[in-house]
Structures are given as structure tokens and as C-alpha cells.
Structure 1
Amino acid sequence: MITTALIALAAATAAPQATCATPEQATAVRSFYASLPSAPPLVARRHMNLAEEVVSSGLPTDYATGVSGAHFKAVWDSVAEWPVAFFIMDQKGWIMKFEGPVPALLGNKRNDAFTDVKAPGANGLISHIRPDLVTSIHAVALPGGVGRDGKMREGMTRAVIFYDASQESVFGLYASLAGEDLNKAAIPAFEKTMALMRTLPQECGR
């Protein structure tokens, strides 16, 4: 059974603003990805010394789309249709990864700011989240390529990543990771989610 997770963030009275890459930062991000195309933004930000949200917002339109956190429900309703996802959470340097069904939004059942989510069935993620603190949501589809270790990363990295005011990801839902043998069942559903996000107003003017 997957361990129950709790994502608890500080309270806020209004949705915070996303942070977008400057033209100079976007140029640097695109130069980095020209040589290391498959790196998730979580990895690229360590090499570039940039906030992860800035990395995602600096990716070219062929590789990414990004929308305001105000569209959380529309995006989450779409990812909730994925049959499975590979979750990656970086909480103060503690990297947690697990594969499981995507939880559905249950709404707020208490007198507080949290929204409950629960995976279908007996197993999977159960959490209390703060959609109102999400600054932006980015979908990335990054081609494989040679890594820094000289090894080829086959396949693609496909993910929907949620950011807050820290400019770092709260969590990412991955349909695939270049070089990793993940369940491929979520890939068609990811494509639908990314297509949906492309129809919404783009947060960083892509």
C-alpha cells in the first residue's frame, strides 16, 4: 500500500502570481535544452541555478505549455482521467517518487482551506491540498537524448507540474520519463491534458 501523503501549504488570501522567465533566462533555458533535451525541469534547475518554475516557463512552445493556477480544477479534472501516473515530489530536498492512480478532487469537507483528494480504490495517494496557492501549471513533452553521463535517454519526458510561490514544484505527475521504463498507459491521456492546456490562456506569453 502506498503511504498516505499530506501536502500542506501556508494560507493565502489571494492566488499568487506566477514567475515567468525573462527573455535572457528563456534564452539560457533553450540553450541548455539544446544539449540536454530530456532533463525534467526539476533536474535542469539544479544545473542552471534557476528556480524550477522559471525553467518550465522558459521552454519553447514545441516542448511546453503553461497556465495560471486559476485553472487548477480544469487541469486536475483532466489528469484525474489518467489511468496511472508517476508522482515526483521535492520537499526541501527530499525527493519522493511513486507510481499510482491519480486521485480525484473531493472538495472541502471541513471548515478550512484544504481540498481533499483521494485515489480510487484502497491504494494510492490521499492528500489535502491547496489549489489556491498554485501559481502556475506547466505541461512538458521533452524528447530523449544523450545525458550528461554520455548515455542515451530513449523515449520522452511527459509531465504536468504544479508550482507555488516558492517557484519550485509542489509535485509533478509524469506519464513517462526518458530513459525510464514506466507504465505507458498514461501517455494518451497526457496528450489530451496537454492539448487542453494549450487551449487555455498562456501564463507566460508563449
Structure 2
Amino acid sequence: MNQDENIVWHSQTVTRAQKQLHKGHKPVLLWYTGLSGSGKSTIANAVESKLFELGCHTYLLDGDNVRMGLNKGLTFSDEDRVENIRRISEVAKLFVDAGLMVSTAFISPFKADRAQARTIMANGEFVEVFIDTPLEVCESRDPKGLYKKARAGEIPNFTGISSAFDIPESPELHIKTAEQTIEQSVEQIIGYLSQAGIIKI
């Protein structure tokens, strides 16, 4: 017998609509994607701080932090990258179901994985934020010294060097960090959330 046959979804008494009304904003998943060093975590943190100031209920899932716990043991092989994103997508879905505004800051290099994350979310609850920073700029920043190691062959499967990054074709938000400040990037994202009716300013 398939074990899945013994699993039944348990409906909750408190509805999503009630949670949304209680929190005063719509739940959403802000999916930040971009190369290492592009500024994903920096911008995601700045946006969360602004949302917190506005009274929103938020949570930020950072790539390195998640790999220290939930996804500990996963490598950076293509197969494990897929599993890494699958797990975080499901966790993010639970947070959104709780009524939160969730941010995920992961490289998430593969188009198919980002598309899969979108499909498990309700319509309008997945906002792809492409942190578009040229490779040379990311390398010049190299906050963790990873590009230097990758160029020296010390890190295999490194996105942008020895592993591909699928550029988002139609993200809800396209942030060009080489052309604008962090503050301007935050304003662009907050502006989108307001115009989309997700938050009220």
C-alpha cells in the first residue's frame, strides 16, 4: 500500500481570510533571485525592515541560514540545489498560509525550480524579485571570498562561474543594483507591493 493513501489534509478552523484581516495586509512570497554577491540578502533585509516599520508581519528565509538547519547536509550539486529549493518553497508556502509576508533570499539559479515554487502558491502570492547585478560587479564585491575560490577551482558547481544561472524572463520586479542605491531598490519593491494592493501605505 502506498503510504500517501494514509495521509489526509487537515483543514484549519482559522481561515486564510481571517488571518489576512487580522494582520491587515495580504500574505505574499517575495522570491529574491540573483548571483552570489548581487545584494539579495541586503535588499531583502532592508525591505523587511521597512515592512516591519509599516506594521507588517514578516519573516526572512536566508540561503545560508536555512542550510545550517533544515537543509543541512545538502551539497551544491544540481540535484541537491533542486531539493534545496523544493524544501524552502514548501516551508515558504506554510509561512504564507499563516498570513505572513515572506522573503526568500536564495540564488535559485534554475528557471524550472522557480517556476515550480510559483505553481504551489496561490495566484498573486508569488512575487519574483530579480536582483540583476553584473557578474563582474558581484566578483568585485565577493563578500565571502567565494568567487576567488571558484576561479581557483576550489568550489565546484559555482553559479556564474562553473554552473549556469537562468535569467528570469518576466519577473514581477527587476532590480538593477549597479544603477541604483539600496534605498531606491527598497522604494521600488515597496511601491510595487502598494500598487498591487498587498500592503496599504
Common fold: TM-score over 0.5 = no
Query: Which of the pair has more CA radius of gyration?
Result: 2
The one of the two structures with greater contact order (alpha-carbon pairs below 8 A, sep at least 6) is: 2
| TM-score, L = length of structure 1 | 0.28
When you count strand as a share of all residues, which structure comes out higher?
1
Of Structure 1 and Structure 2, which has the larger fraction of its residues in helix? 2
